[in-house]
């Protein structure tokens, strides 16, 4: 009789290194044998590919199970090649006969998620600074490096993709060494694709990244650096133990809210979740408590035990604050309940998503949503359409304004239609520190663009021979509106951008309304700088003129600041007689035409006496007319 033996497969082409030793047991590992590190890189510089290769070489994922970008779990992440949620993986590695547990924390690379990046960094002692050897340093390389330095991390500079024919490792090694100090010879050269240099890199992590330190006998303190919703297991919380120990089935307490939960499972990911006997000082792992909403397990919060609670939370906790707002409306009004349900579901897994119902004359029922940034907005709208089959229109993104009125009130405005109508004393808007990296030939055109967006130059530096870093302070409101598209098209895609909040400033801002036959169309109101009010008015009135069909009377389209009209167009009157061409006695054909006209009217929105097809509003909001003209 045949007997099946369950043997670990080790095929000749498997890339597992002989130094991928037996894993050390969590909760029983000496902190001196733990290394916590992350990989920081500009988008597309190969972070996920390198992480995949490390998993393979350390034997935690077999070649057979390997699929590209193992750590990027969400489909949408894999398709777009971006990392949204960070994960942590424990890998065994042996150096000079000693076994180590390497915890790799994958960080999101995009500025919208910089708070999550900063918490992931706070969970580590070291960072691999990964730079594409064919492209060199980019804006997010710098932004992430500065964050890592603020967190006192040991930086390991690495050039990736050295297998590319276009790679110029010597040039970029000098650039990297100039940036962080040290010699170009210290810069490791690897290829995440072929695996060259990856073993040396793991050795360097062990050699250079400091071991974690913490007080083993103090009350438990663990920092949450990620919180992910899983439809089967509820919320999975990723933590870094700082002091003490957490044990299975213990009652834990969230220090920001005082809420307590039973610890149903605790363990480490390698990379599939493996329950353990607990987590001790310096370790990285996950907790499951059965809660169903990520807002009960917030990134940055400190976990302690209920029985022996710590008194001081770990530093650095803040609530995620939405920066960009937009109205989301279903194109088919009957989809509204589905949209509400979909947002409720997404909120379970995304603590940064905010929304409340709103109505618009032009677009019907929808939700005003708050996002961390433009990419966050894009991801949410894409998930709504992909996962819930919703067809949506989003109003132009807006930021938060503080408006002080003459009667002494202060109003927070996230939607232009809430802008107070009386006398305004002052308006302040959020400002960000912008870093742009561009080849030197494009400096002129980039500066022109920044100036046209009310940017203030704060500094300019050459990086190597041919690239320049420009630093500006700029209103966030100017960036959320197609700034990135313009930057890319002016520099043929070469410039990269990063920004971080730097407070607020007063500015001469006004609300421009768009009126159709004297009636305000809310979805088109915008808060803009006074100098740009006129051009916004002209743009929108022209767009609408081209999109709204003629009516039986003349329709004025106006742009106004308060009661002052600043631009005007009009649609000439026409008597639309669908039966005009239908002479003769064929009554059934006439009826058909009239029926068809009635169908069309259903999708019409009434603004005062004016009938507007909803498509016209949608096209005007998305700027479709200009796009067509450009083509
Ligand atoms: N030739 C070559 N290509 C690589 C190498 N590493 C990554 N790539 C390619 O570079 C592209 C980006 O790699 P990713 O690993 O997705 O980059 P990433 O930094 O994780 O990207 P984000 O998750 O968006 O930040 C992919 O097309 C990879 O196949 C390498 O060492 N050599």
Pairing of strands 526-529, 519-520: unpaired
Residue nearest to atom 12 of ligand 1 (CA): 44
C-alpha neighbours within 13 Å on the C-beta side of residue 132: 17
pLDDT reading at 160 higher than 60: yes
Residues in a beta bridge with 100? 93
Any binding-site annotation on 160? yes
Per-position DSSP letters for 93-107, written without gaps between them: EEETTEEEEEEEEE-
221-305 and 324-397 share one fold: no
Region of poorest pLDDT, from 182-191, 354-363, 481-490, 600-609: 600-609
Extents of the domains making up the chain: 12-208, 221-305, 324-397, 402-507, 513-630
Pocket test for ligand 1, best of 40, 41, 44, 196 (most atoms within 8 A of CB): 44
**DSSP assignment letter at 111:** G
pLDDT at 66: 64
Any binding-site annotation on 529? no
pLDDT reading at 602 higher than 60: no
Looking at domain 513-630, does it have CATH number 3.30.70.2570? yes
Q: What is the pLDDT of residues 484-498, one digit of tens each?
A: 888 988 988 788 888
Tokens of 174: 């000098």
Q: What are phi and psi of 615, to 5 degrees?
A: -60, -30
Residue nearest to atom 2 of ligand 1 (CA): 161
The residue written with tokens 């004359």 in the block is 361
C-alpha neighbours within 13 Å on the C-beta side of residue 354: 14
C-beta 48 within 6 A of ligand 1: yes
Instruction: Please state, in angstroms and rounded to a whole number, the distance separating the CA atoms of residues 472 and 479.
Output: 12
Instruction: Please state, in angstroms and rounded to a whole number, the distance separating the CA atoms of residues 446 and 453.
Output: 11
User: What is the chain's Cα-based Rg?
Assistant: 29
Determine the distance from the C-alpha atom of residue 67 to the mean position of all C-alpha atoms in its chain, rounded to a whole number.
24
Q: Are 446 and 491 in contact (CB under 8 A)?
A: yes
Q: Are 550 and 570 in contact (CB under 8 A)?
A: no
- Bigger pLDDT: 68 vs 361: 361
Class of domain 324-397: alpha beta
What is the homologous superfamily of the domain 12-208 according to CATH?
Answer: P-loop containing nucleotide triphosphate hydrolases (3.40.50.300)
- CATH code that applies to domain 402-507: 3.30.70.240
pLDDT at 95: 93
Please tell me the distance between residue 80's alpha carbon and the centre of ligand 1 in angstroms: 12
The residue written with tokens 């808060």 in the block is 527
- Quick check: helix, strand or coil at residue 358? strand
Instruction: Please state, in angstroms and rounded to a whole number, the distance separating the CA atoms of residues 162 and 321.
Output: 39
C-beta 196 within 6 A of ligand 1: no
Q: What is the pLDDT of residues 607-622, one digit of tens each?
A: 777 878 777 777 777 6
- Bigger pLDDT: 614 vs 533: 533
pLDDT at 590: 65
C-beta 109 within 6 A of ligand 1: yes
Please tell me the distance between residue 83's alpha carbon and the centre of ligand 1 in angstroms: 12
Any binding-site annotation on 46? yes
Pocket test for ligand 1, best of 46, 105, 114 (most atoms within 8 A of CB): 46
C-beta 83 within 6 A of ligand 1: yes
Q: Which distant-in-sequence residues (6+ apart) come within 8 Å of 157 by Cβ?
A: 129, 131, 176, 177, 180, 182, 186, 187, 188
Q: Are 142 and 434 in contact (CB under 8 A)?
A: no
Atom of ligand 1 nearest to the CA of 164: 1
pLDDT reading at 466 higher than 50: yes
- For 584, counting Cβ atoms within 10 Å of its Cβ (0-12 exposed, 13-18 middle, 19+ buried), the class is exposed
C-alpha neighbours within 13 Å on the C-beta side of residue 206: 19
The residue written with tokens 């197609």 in the block is 482
C-beta 47 within 6 A of ligand 1: yes
Q: Are 196 and 46 in contact (CB under 8 A)?
A: no
C-beta 192 within 6 A of ligand 1: yes
Atom of ligand 1 nearest to the CA of 191: 31
C-alpha neighbours within 13 Å on the C-beta side of residue 148: 27
C-beta 148 within 6 A of ligand 1: no
Instruction: Please state, in angstroms and rounded to a whole number, the distance separating the CA atoms of residues 275 and 285.
Output: 9
Region of poorest pLDDT, from 16-30, 187-201, 275-289, 545-559: 16-30
C-beta 82 within 6 A of ligand 1: yes
Q: What is the pLDDT of residues 425-465, one digit of tens each?
A: 999 999 999 999 898 999 999 999 999 999 999 999 988 77
Residue nearest to atom 13 of ligand 1 (CA): 46
pLDDT at 81: 41
- For 79, counting Cβ atoms within 10 Å of its Cβ (0-12 exposed, 13-18 middle, 19+ buried), the class is exposed
C-beta 80 within 6 A of ligand 1: no
Region of poorest pLDDT, from 12-21, 48-57, 263-272, 528-537: 12-21
Any binding-site annotation on 48? yes
Helices 530-547 and 614-622 pack at an angle, to 10 degrees, of 140
Please tell me the distance between residue 438's alpha carbon and the centre of ligand 1 in angstroms: 21
Q: Are 235 and 294 in contact (CB under 8 A)?
A: yes
Residue nearest to atom 8 of ligand 1 (CA): 46
Pocket test for ligand 1, best of 48, 56, 137 (most atoms within 8 A of CB): 48
Nearest to 441 by CA among 407, 478, 497, 490: 490
Instruction: Please state, in angstroms and rounded to a whole number, the distance separating the CA atoms of residues 293 and 619.
Output: 37
The region that residue 222 occupies, defined by phi over 0 for left and psi between -120 and 50 for alpha, beta otherwise, is beta
pLDDT reading at 279 higher than 70: yes
Instruction: Please state, in angstroms and rounded to a whole number, the distance separating the CA atoms of residues 371 and 406.
Output: 30
Q: What is the pLDDT of residues 238-259, one digit of tens each?
A: 999 999 999 999 999 999 889 9
Q: What are phi and psi of 595, to 5 degrees?
A: -60, -45
Residue nearest to atom 30 of ligand 1 (CA): 161
Mean pLDDT of the chain: 84
Instruction: Please state, in angstroms and rounded to a whole number, the distance separating the CA atoms of residues 525 and 417.
Output: 6
pTM score, whole prediction: 0.73
Q: What are phi and psi of 48, to 5 degrees?
A: -65, -40
Any binding-site annotation on 47? yes
Q: How far is CA 146 from CA 87, 118, 439, in A?
A: 22, 10, 21
**Mean local confidence (pLDDT), 306-325:** 86
Please tell me the distance between residue 232's alpha carbon and the centre of ligand 1 in angstroms: 31
Q: What is the pLDDT of residues 82-133, one digit of tens each?
A: 443 447 899 999 999 899 999 999 777 666 677 778 888 999 999 999 999 9
Class of domain 221-305: mainly beta
Atom of ligand 1 nearest to the CA of 52: 15
Q: Are 102 and 91 in contact (CB under 8 A)?
A: yes
Residue 33 sits at the vertex; the CA angle it makes with 226 and 268, to the nearest 5 degrees, is: 35
**Mean local confidence (pLDDT), 19-45:** 86
Atom of ligand 1 nearest to the CA of 51: 15
pLDDT at 224: 92
Please tell me the distance between residue 323's alpha carbon and the centre of ligand 1 in angstroms: 29
Please tell me the distance between residue 46's alpha carbon and the centre of ligand 1 in angstroms: 3
Any binding-site annotation on 193? no
The region that residue 217 occupies, defined by phi over 0 for left and psi between -120 and 50 for alpha, beta otherwise, is alpha
**Start-to-end Cα distance in the chain:** 72
Q: What is the pLDDT of residues 206-223, one digit of tens each?
A: 999 999 999 999 999 999
Nearest to 497 by CA among 437, 569, 439, 543: 437
């Amino acid at each position: 009789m045949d007997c099946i033996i369950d043997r670990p497969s080790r095929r000749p082409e498997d890339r597992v290194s002989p130094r991928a030793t037996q894993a050390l047991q969590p909760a029983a590992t000496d902190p001196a044998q733990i290394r916590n590190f992350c990989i920081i890189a500009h988008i597309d510089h190969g972070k996920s590919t390198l992480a995949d290769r490390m998993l393979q070489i350390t034997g935690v994922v077999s070649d057979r199970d390997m699929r590209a970008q193992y750590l990027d779990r969400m489909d949408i992440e894999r398709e777009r090649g971006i990392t949204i949620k960070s994960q942590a993986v424990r890998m065994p590695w042996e150096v000079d006969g000693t076994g180590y547990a390497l915890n790799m924390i994958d960080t999101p690379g995009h500025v919208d998620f910089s708070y999550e990046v900063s918490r992931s960094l706070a969970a580590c002692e070291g960072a691999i600074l990964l730079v594409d050897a064919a492209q060199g340093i980019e804006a997010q390389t710098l932004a992430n490096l500065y964050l890592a330095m603020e967190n006192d991390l040991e930086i390991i500079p690495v050039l990736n993709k050295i297998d590319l024919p276009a790679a110029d490792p010597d040039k970029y090694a000098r650039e990297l060494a100039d940036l962080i100090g040290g010699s170009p010879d210290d810069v490791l050269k690897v290829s995440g694709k072929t695996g060259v240099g990856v073993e040396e890199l793991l050795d360097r992590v062990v050699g250079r990244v400091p071991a974690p330190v913490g007080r083993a006998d103090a009350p438990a303190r663990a920092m949450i650096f990620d919180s992910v919703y899983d439809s089967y297991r509820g919320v999975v919380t990723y933590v870094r133990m700082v002091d003490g120990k957490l044990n299975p089935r213990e009652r834990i307490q969230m220090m920001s809210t005082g809420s307590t939960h039973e610890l149903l499972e605790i363990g480490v990911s390698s990379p599939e979740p493996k329950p353990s006997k607990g987590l001790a000082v310096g370790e990285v792992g996950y907790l499951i408590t059965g809660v169903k909403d990520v807002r009960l397990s917030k990134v940055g919060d400190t976990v302690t035990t209920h029985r022996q609670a710590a008194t001081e939370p770990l530093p650095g906790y803040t609530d995620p604050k939405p920066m960009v707002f937009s109205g989301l409306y279903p194109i088919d009004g009957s989809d509204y309940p589905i949209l509400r349900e979909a947002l409720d579901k997404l909120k379970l897994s995304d603590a940064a998503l905010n929304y409340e119902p709103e109505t618009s004359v032009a677009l019907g029922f929808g939700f005003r949503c708050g996002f961390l940034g433009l990419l966050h907005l894009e991801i949410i709208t894409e998930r709504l359409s992909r996962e819930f089959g919703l067809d949506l229109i989003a109003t132009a993104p807006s930021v938060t304004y503080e408006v002080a009125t003459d009667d002494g009130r202060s109003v927070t405005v996230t939607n232009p239609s809430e802008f107070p109508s009386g006398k305004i004393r002052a308006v302040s808007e959020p400002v960000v520190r912008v870093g742009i990296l561009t080849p030197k030939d494009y400096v002129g055109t980039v500066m022109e663009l920044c100036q046209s967006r009310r940017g203030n130059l704060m500094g300019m530096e050459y990086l190597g021979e041919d690239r320049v870093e420009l630093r500006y302070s700029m209103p966030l409101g100017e960036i959320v509106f197609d700034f990135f598209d313009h930057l890319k098209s002016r520099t043929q895609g070469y410039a990269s951008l990063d920004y971080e909040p730097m407070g607020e400033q007063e500015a001469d801002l006004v609300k421009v309304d768009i009126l159709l036959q004297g009636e305000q169309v809310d979805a088109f109101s915008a808060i803009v700088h006074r100098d740009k009010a006129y051009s916004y008015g002209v743009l929108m009135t022209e767009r609408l003129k081209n999109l709204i069909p003629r009516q039986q009377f003349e329709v004025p389209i106006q742009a106004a600041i308060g009661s002052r009209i600043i631009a005007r167009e009009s649609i000439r009157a026409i008597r639309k007689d669908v039966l005009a061409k239908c002479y003769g006695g064929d009554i059934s054909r006439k009826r058909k035409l009239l029926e068809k006209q009635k169908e069309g009217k259903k999708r019409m929105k009434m603004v005062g006496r004016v009938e507007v097809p909803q498509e016209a509003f949608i096209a005007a909001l998305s700027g479709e007319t200009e796009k067509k003209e450009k083509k």
